Chains A and B, each alone.
Chain A
Amino acid sequence: MIRLENLTKLYGSFVAVDDISLHVPRGVLYGCLGPNGAGKTTTLRMIAGILRPTQGRVLLGGDDVHTNPLSAKMRLGFIPDRPFVYDKLTGAEFLRFVAGLYGQEGDTVERRVAELLEVFELTSWKDELIEAYSHGMRQKLIISSALIHRPECIVVDEPMVGLDPKAARLLKDIFRQFVERGGTVLMSTHTLEVAEAMCDQIAIIQHGKIVAAGTVSDVRLQHKAGDASLEELFLKLTGGAQVRELVEVLGK
């Protein structure tokens, strides 16, 4: 469903994403892990068509995001990490606007808007300007907007940031059901417990490169990590020594 081929992104001479190739099949929840600045967000923004790759290409259901953007993007729902939305629209208006961007209107959209607002407990806020929403409510609204046109795949950057435990649990269930019905989710996260509990497969990114990929058991086997937890595995692959040094410094 999502295929990255030799994806590279340079900012001047800085290599943010370095020749990444990845395939996320239909019906899989795929986790992208990595320390801050590893290149996860840049990769996801290239998949969403917001950034242009310096080299390589992104295919969504066979359509190249950059040469055939409209049909590729019709399949996609993107959830960014920073919820910037139009402050002077109401929640319901924003959802209608996003549906319109995907060419959808009418009663079906109205029903879908009501349904999503209900699921995310925003119904009583639907006629309120977004400027009055809290961070978590904005995040819920953006998640609703990514689902409004019934996408085939969802690309999501740090989905749990700002959500209360109830909404976080709801989102996990939604993603699980979405995948079980044949959808595809590619998400980046720092929360290793979430990745371990939810993801079918993971990729660990470090310095713009994939340093490990597969199921958690596959990765353990590849790196001879025995029955180490995902956290231990992550620290081993991304510089756990530094963390230990940090702990020592803070302990002084």
Chain B
Amino acid sequence: MKQPSLAHVLQPKWRTALQRLREERASGGTGKLVILAIVAGLFWLGVFGILYKILKSLRAVEELGPLIPGKILGLILLSFISILVLSNVITALSSFFLAKDLDLLVSAPVDWLRLYLAKLGETLLHSSWMVALMAVPILAAYGVVFKGGILFAPYAILAIVPMLILPAVVGSALTLILVNIFPARRTRDLLSIIALGAAGGVILLFRVIRPEQLARPEGFRNLLDFVILLRGPTSPFLPSEWASQAIMGFLGNEFDPLPLVLLWSTAAAFVTFGALLHRALYAQGFTKAQEGAERFIRGGLWRWTVGSLLRWLPVAKREFVLKDIKLFFRDTTQWSQLILLAVLVVVYLFNIQALPLHRGEPVGFFYVNLVSFLNLGLAGFVLASIAARFIFPAVSLEGRQMWLLRSSPLDLRALLWSKYWVGTVPLLVLGLLLTGLTNALLEVPAFMMILSLATMAALTLAIGAMALAFGALYPQFETENAAQIPTSFGGLVFMMATIALLAAVLGSLASAVTTYVRAAWEGQAIGVTPAMIGWFILAAALCAAATIVPLRLALRKMESFEF
């Protein structure tokens, strides 16, 4: 029997993507595209600019020449490979074992090789596009600084593509083995915990070793050792090192085909071995993947604890809050994000504590207050990112069950109320903790402590409301994975709106804080002036408006939802 072509097997995927693009354009998506392009362009320019400056100054160091840039490229590519292997393992689980089109493909007379290549391609594309985009400004900076010329672009693609193929094959193979050992749904839980735990560990490690110390002159005491270390490859058996050698060789006008040959021949060999492994294990793994995770849940704990605490609420609201909490803590992909959150808080406080403000010198009163005030913006941004992850998807996640909520006598205001408080109360606790602990570490005066805590409380209430509202205004009902929802266009608009709010609130408070700091600095009597009260009222009004208006808009939008 003549087998369908690979393009034919992948047809539903690219046709769906094209159709989605057409629908976006038809629904006035051009504006969205322009905003996305501007944001992406700015990000690219930023990465390019920073790396350009670093490479330019490193190139000027005579003894080292291209050694350090080569080393940096090797490290960047090595981190890309690690990220890619992890993301391919997770993506391969969906594309090879849980995707909705698998029943059709597996039951059709499509041979194992085509199925493998189609799904490998899909996995590669889904897990590598972000890394590939990120590589563009990085390689562009190398190309410009080292004058690679126009041919550098196709050459860099030639060096990078096999580096994307290899992790895709390794990730898919690892998933295939894992699924043959555990059921797919259990594997997904396991993987999300491992992935987030690993990511958290790396961030923590990176922060705790304090890389900023390497920039100190005493770190270069033994220059010869340093140069010797730089001359040796970081990891001679890793494709990232081959890619780095291939690229740096081209840029240094010392073309050596060996790294490229190594990259492509290894990629071809890995695809072959991956395909053979697929032939041997896929059928058994796919069958195992159909098994559900069977777990008995008593659920009494929530009812007795949170349920009893919320006894004062009307029954519909109480049941709704309980339901949301249970769903969150029973979904590993959701609660495991708390690991990253904990790491973030530790790193945050570690950074504040590491600031050289109280190192024996007289405490810089001005700097302490400045840091405390600017910390409001930073903490606000951190809270906005957390809200984007946890509160923004709240309405979208109800999508499939909206038939139940809309056909029941549940008031949509109660639904919005429950979602708002379930998300905002933990955010408020976190916001106050971050601000309070930071200020305690900075040993700020009482005025700044009270101002910071009050501002943070008002900002958190507004951020929670905006996250929920933007989530309702830009819902993603079709997305099953909550982690993908914040990366949508609506998530971007929410983050931009929150940054604008933070700027407006801090801008309105800046004058009041300056008056206070100046008075304290000059040793004058510190009092709250009418002008300061005016600024406080303006900041409070901004936060109140940013809380009430979005919630009203969200309610109106939800009333117009049709399913």
CA distance A102 to B185 in the complex (A): 34
- Contact, CB under 8 Å: B326 / A51: no
Given contacts A90-B297, A97-B323, A128-B297, are A48 and B406 in contact (CB under 8 A)?
yes
CB contact between A132 and one of B292, B326, B402, B411 (< 8 Å): that residue: B292
Q: Pick the interface stretch among A19-27, A74-82, A111-119.
A: A74-82
Q: Which residues on B sit within 8 Å (CB–CB) of A243?
A: none
Per-residue CB contact flags for chain A residues 67-96 toward chain B (1 = under 8 Å, else 0) read 001110110101010001110111011001
Give the most central of B314, B323, B326, B411: most A CB within 10 Å.
Answer: B323
Given contacts A90-B297, A128-B294, are A101 and B408 in contact (CB under 8 A)?
yes
Q: Which residues on B sit within 8 Å (CB–CB) of A145?
A: 404
- Contact, CB under 8 Å: B294 / A132: yes
Q: Which residues on B sit within 8 Å (CB–CB) of A78?
A: 403-404, 407
Q: A100-B318, A103-B409, A105-B319 are in contact. List 7 more A-B contacts (CB 8 A).
A: A48-B403, A50-B407, A86-B323, A89-B327, A93-B297, A101-B408, A102-B316
| Interchain residue pairs with CB less than 8 A apart (16) | A69-B409, A70-B411, A78-B403, A84-B401, A86-B327, A89-B323, A101-B320, A101-B405, A101-B408, A127-B298, A128-B295, A128-B296, A129-B293, A131-B185, A132-B295, A145-B404
Q: Which residues on A sit within 8 Å (CB–CB) of B407?
A: 48-50, 73, 76, 78
Give the most central of B185, B297, B327: most A CB within 10 Å.
Answer: B297
Tell me if B562 is interfacial: C-beta within 8 Å of chain A: yes
A156 to chain B, nearest CB (A): 11
Closest to B561 in A: A50
Given contacts A103-B314, A132-B295, are A74 and B326 in contact (CB under 8 A)?
no
Taking CB atoms and an 8 Å cut-off, the chain A residues in 110-153 that contact chain B are: 127-129, 131-132, 145
A83 to chain B, nearest CB (A): 10
Q: Which residues on B sit within 8 Å (CB–CB) of A128?
A: 294-297
Closest to B405 in A: A101
Tell me if B17 is interfacial: C-beta within 8 Å of chain A: no
Taking CB atoms and an 8 Å cut-off, the chain B residues in 408-461 that contact chain A are: 408-411
Q: How many A-B contacts are there with CB distance less than 8 Å?
A: 103
Q: What are the 3 tightest A-B residue pairs by CB atom distance, in nearest-first order?
A: A100-B319, A78-B407, A48-B407
Q: Which residues on B sit within 8 Å (CB–CB) of A167?
A: none
Closest to B318 in A: A100
Q: Which residues on A sit within 8 Å (CB–CB) of B331?
A: 88
Tell me if B526 is interfacial: C-beta within 8 Å of chain A: no
B422 to chain A, nearest CB (A): 14
Q: Which residues on A sit within 8 Å (CB–CB) of B320?
A: 97, 100-101
Taking CB atoms and an 8 Å cut-off, the chain A residues in 191-227 that contact chain B are: none
CA distance A102 to B401 in the complex (A): 16
CA distance A99 to B327 in the complex (A): 18
Q: Which residues on B sit within 8 Å (CB–CB) of A105?
A: 315, 319
- Contact, CB under 8 Å: A101 / B316: yes
A99 to chain B, nearest CB (A): 8
Tell me if A98 is interfacial: C-beta within 8 Å of chain B: yes
Tell me if A52 is interfacial: C-beta within 8 Å of chain B: yes
CA distance A166 to B406 in the complex (A): 31
CA distance A145 to B403 in the complex (A): 13
Given contacts A88-B330, A129-B297, are A50 and B403 in contact (CB under 8 A)?
yes
CA distance A104 to B314 in the complex (A): 10
Taking CB atoms and an 8 Å cut-off, the chain B residues in 370-412 that contact chain A are: 400-411
Closest to B298 in A: A127
